[in-house]
Amino acid sequence: MLNKKVLPEFQEFLLSRRLVQEKHLSYYAHWVSKFLFFSNKNQKLTDELKIEAFMNELKDQDKINDWQVRLHKLSAISGQHSA
């Protein structure tokens, strides 16, 4: 479901290209927005190090399950290789 408050253009892009099912749009937008915020605070790091540091920060948060961190890391890695 489209959440117009979180990266609406990104969500429209994903939907228009059929990259994500509509029911998962807000989930993807949420995590991308979190990474973008983190990335902007850590501009001196390479993209690869940003991803690694972001994953480590997620691991340190009690609210995030280990499987979620592994899933996001796999997504980030596959996204890097497809670009």
Q: What is the pLDDT of residues 46-68, one digit of tens each?
A: 999 998 899 888 888 767 777 77
Q: Which domain holds residue 37?
A: 1-41
Helical ranges in 1-83 per DSSP H: 8-16, 25-41, 47-60, 66-82
Token pair listed for 39: 């990335």
Q: Could you identify the residue written with the tokens 């290209």?
A: 17
> What pLDDT does residue 72 have?
63
In this structure, the answer to whether residues 30 and 58 fall within a common structural domain is: no
Q: Is 44 within 8 Å of 77 (Cβ atoms)?
A: no
Q: What is the pLDDT of residue 53?
A: 94
pLDDT digits over 64-81, tens only? 777 776 766 666 655 544
Band (4; pLDDT cuts 50, 70, 90)? confident
The answer to whether residues 26 and 1 belong to one domain is yes
29 lies in the same domain as 10: yes
Do residues 50 and 36 share a domain?
no
**Alpha-carbon distances of 6 from 31, 32, 35, rounded to whole Å:** 10, 9, 13
Indicate whether 54 and 34 sit together in one domain.
no
